[in-house]
Every structure is written in C-alpha cells, then in structure tokens.
Amino acid sequence: MLVLGLQGGPRKKGNTNYLISAFMDAAEKSGARTLTIDVTRKNIIPCKEYTVCEKKGFCPIDDDVKDEIYPLLRQAEVVVVASPIFFYNMSAQLKAVVDRCQMFWARKYKLKLKDPAANMRCGFLLSVGATKGKNLFEGLQLTTQYFFDAIWAKFEGSLTYRGIEGPNDLAAHPTVLQDVAKAVESILKPFEGRKKVLFACRENACRSQMASAFAQYLAGDKLEVINGGSEPAEEVNPDMVEVMHEKGIDMGFRSPQSIDEAISHVKPDYIITMGCEEQCPYIPGAQKQDWDLPDPAGKPIGFMRDVRNEIEKRVQDFIEDIA
Ligand SMILES: Cc1cc2nc3c(=O)[nH]c(=O)nc-3n(C[C@H](O)[C@H](O)[C@H](O)COP(=O)(O)O)c2cc1C
C-alpha cells in the first residue's frame, strides 16, 4: 500500500519537512511503501478555472500535477498533507495543488463517479506555526477537510504544533516522535492483515483493470489489490473506461504496468489470471486461479459490457470465498 506525502514547506531543513519525514519513516518501518512529493520544487500551475473538469472530468493544464500528482493521488490509500502555517492556511504551492484537485471534485460531484479506493483511503494533516493562538490551524483544517473530501479520503486526524519557527524547534519538542509513532500506528491498523491479490492479464488494459477496481471497491478492507500485464499496453482501453463509468466506477488516471512492476512492492497471496495463466511468473506461496475470460479488446462495446458483468460476478464470488 502506498502512503503519499504532499510536503508543502519551502524550507528544506524546516520543521514541516522534519515532521513529514518522521511520519514517513515510521510508516515505512510499519511495512508501507511511502513517497513524498516536495510540492515547492515541482512545476505546478494554479487552477485557471477553465471549468473543463466540470464538463469533461479532466484538467487541460499540462504540468507535474497532471503527469505525476493526479495518478499518485489515485494510487495512494493514505494521503498525508504537511504544511507550515502561512497566513492561517497552507503554503501557496500546496494550495495550488489542492485547487487543481477541483478536477477530482468535479468527477465526484458533477460526473457522479466513485473512486475504487473510496471506502479505504484516508487522509492525515501535519502542520506547524510560529504563534500560539487558539485558531491557528482552523483555516488549514477546513481547507484540508474539503481537499480530502474531493479525493475520497476520510479525514483521519492531524498533528499540529504551535510556537515552532526556528529550523530545529520541532526536533527539540519532547513528544513529537511519540506522537508520530502513535498516529502512524492507528492510521495503518485498518490496513493490517489484508490478503494481497494480483489480477493479471495480457495488456493490463481491460480485464485485470476492471477486476482490480471491483475488488478494491467492494472489499478494500479485506484485500490489497494490485494488477499487471504480461505485455502491458500503452494505455488502458477507452471502452473499458466507459463501461466502468456506466457502473459509476471511476477508472481515470490508471496506466497499464507489467506484472513484475506490480509485484515489486507487494507479494501476492492470490494470483488471478484471465486466461493467460502460463504467462504469469511463478510466485512461491501464492494461490492461483485462472478465470479464462475472453479478451474484449477490439470487440464491440457490448462485448466489453458482458465481460465487465462476468468479472463483477466473479469478484463478488471470490470475495465471498475468501471471507
Ligand atoms: C509567508 C509566511 C506566512 C506566515 N504566516 C504565519 C501565520 O499566519 N501564523 C503563524 O503562526 N506563523 C506564520 N508564519 C510562520 C511559520 O508558520 C513558521 O515559521 C513555521 O515554522 C515554518 O515552518 P518551516 O520550519 O517548515 O519552514 C508565516 C511564515 C511565512 C514565511
């Protein structure tokens, strides 16, 4: 599982960076895969309110948010926002990322699409500010709450520290590392003990994508789901995206990947192939099933729908079987 950090503090040796680094170290030690994006060093163009996202569900602005941050926000099951307080809110660079996530808001509330990770993803807030007023973190909390809502993350909690200004102030705080360890433990607890399942097909463009989205959506609390292909395509199949959208499941921001890539971070307990069993690598200890489903690529969209329905049924049966 991926824990994604959005580090919004411009100072490399600042307190915000110290805080999120401690958080990610603790998550990594607990077995999670972590990735921190230093947003102040990325090419991020603020939202220009073109409103394309509200009609079509995508943002026409080309930058690191589009290429890197959108797909990662979809993959992550935990999203950690970290920022110093700048005028009672997050840094402008981080706020620019948040505003660009209006695109996720539009997919959720205008296009009525549900992220497959909707039932599992959670968000956590980290912040520091120089002064000590009661309302210091209120603006940030509110912005973060609505950001998490747009990206389908449940707001799990926050660690915020007042009176922090000089570069080493937070490192000298008496309880910060214990606070972080406790927070990480409680956030990762619901993800513990999930069975890991790999869905594999040839191109990772249709069948294994649909199966993994259904499995994550229906049983993300019991299953950690990955997917891959023996010969990954350049992109996922647009007809597959369309038939999943008919079911209200958002397949945006997914790209095919190889099976090797898929299993590089996760050792599956189950491998489910779609009729291409022999092309799947041997993974010791993993239980194999072959669903032997026809490849819908290049066939009429009605065929894609039939395969989708069959996959949904099989995923439901699989979830019942392992329960
Ligand atoms: C542009 C700017 C605005 C700030 N606004 C506030 C503020 O509204 N309230 C506050 O307590 N501190 C404010 N500060 C101080 C920072 O929150 C504080 O220095 C913090 O520790 C910086 O985190 P860092 O060590 O990660 O850089 C501001 C600092 C800057 C540079």
Above 80 in pLDDT, residue 41?
A: yes
Asked if 13 and 167 touch (Cβ cutoff 8 Å), the reply is yes
Decide whether any atom of ligand 1 lies within 6 Å of the 138 Cβ.
no
Residue from 7, 11, 21, 87 whose mutation best tests the ligand 1 pocket (most atoms within 8 A of CB): 87
The 10 Å Cβ neighbour count of residue 308 is: 24
* Cα 313 from Cα 215, distance rounded (Å): 11
15 lines ligand 1 (CB under 6 A): yes
Task: Pick the residue whose CA is nearest to atom 30 on ligand 1.
Answer: 86
Burial of 120 (C-beta count, 10 Å sphere; 0-12/13-18/19+): buried
User: Ligand 1 pocket, 136 CB below 6 A?
Assistant: yes
Average pLDDT over every residue of 61-65: 98
- Read off the pLDDT of residues 175-196 as tens digits, 9 standing for 90 and up: 999 999 999 999 999 999 999 9
**Average pLDDT of span 267-281:** 86
Statement: residue 282 has pLDDT above 80: no
Atom of ligand 1 nearest to the CA of 132: 11
- Residue-wise pLDDT tens digits, 100-127: 999 999 999 999 999 999 999 999 999 9
Question: Using CA atoms in the order 15, 19, 25, 28, what is the torsion angle rounded to 10 degrees?
Answer: -140
pLDDT band of residue 169 (cuts 50, 70, 90) is very high
**pLDDT score recorded for residue 276:** 76
DSSP string, 47-100: P----HHHHHSS----SHIIIIIHHHHHH-SEEEEEEE-BTTB--HHHHHHHHH
pLDDT of 222 reads 94
What pLDDT was estimated at residue 253?
97
Q: Can you give the pTM of this predicted structure?
A: 0.97
- Measured between its terminal Cα atoms, the distance across the chain in Å is 20
Q: Which amino acid is at 150?
A: A
- DSSP classification of residue 278: G
The pLDDT confidence band at residue 279, using thresholds 50, 70 and 90, is confident
Q: What is the model's pLDDT at position 280?
A: 75
Helix or strand or coil: residue 188? helix
Q: What is the pLDDT of residue 31?
A: 94
Q: Answer yes or no: is the C-beta of 260 below 6 A from any ligand 1 atom.
A: no
Distance of CA 310 to the CA centre of its chain: 26
87: its two tokens:
């005028």
Percent of the chain's residues with pLDDT above 70: 99
Q: Which residues pair with 89 in a beta bridge?
A: 86
Q: What is the pLDDT of residues 125-168, one digit of tens each?
A: 999 999 999 999 999 999 999 999 999 999 999 999 999 999 89
Q: How far apart are CA 43 and CA 22, in angstroms?
A: 25
- As a whole number, the mean pLDDT across the chain is 96
4-36 pLDDT, tens digit each: 999 999 999 999 999 999 999 999 999 999 999
**pLDDT score for 37:** 98
Atom of ligand 1 nearest to the CA of 17: 26
Cα 92 to averaged position of ligand 1 atoms, centre (Å): 12
**More confident site: 321 or 278:** 321
Question: What is the 61 CA–ligand 1 centroid distance (Å)?
Answer: 29
Q: What 3-state DSSP class applies to 42?
A: coil
> In the structure, what pLDDT confidence band is assigned to residue 173 with cuts at 50, 70 and 90?
very high
11 lines ligand 1 (CB under 6 A): yes
pLDDT recorded at residue 319 = 97
Residue pair 26/36 in contact by the 8 Å Cβ criterion: no
- The pLDDT, as a whole number, for residue 227 is 97
pLDDT greater than 90 at residue 275: no
Residues 171, 175, 180, 182, Cα dihedral to 10°: 160
* Whether the CB of 183 sits within 6 Å of ligand 1: no
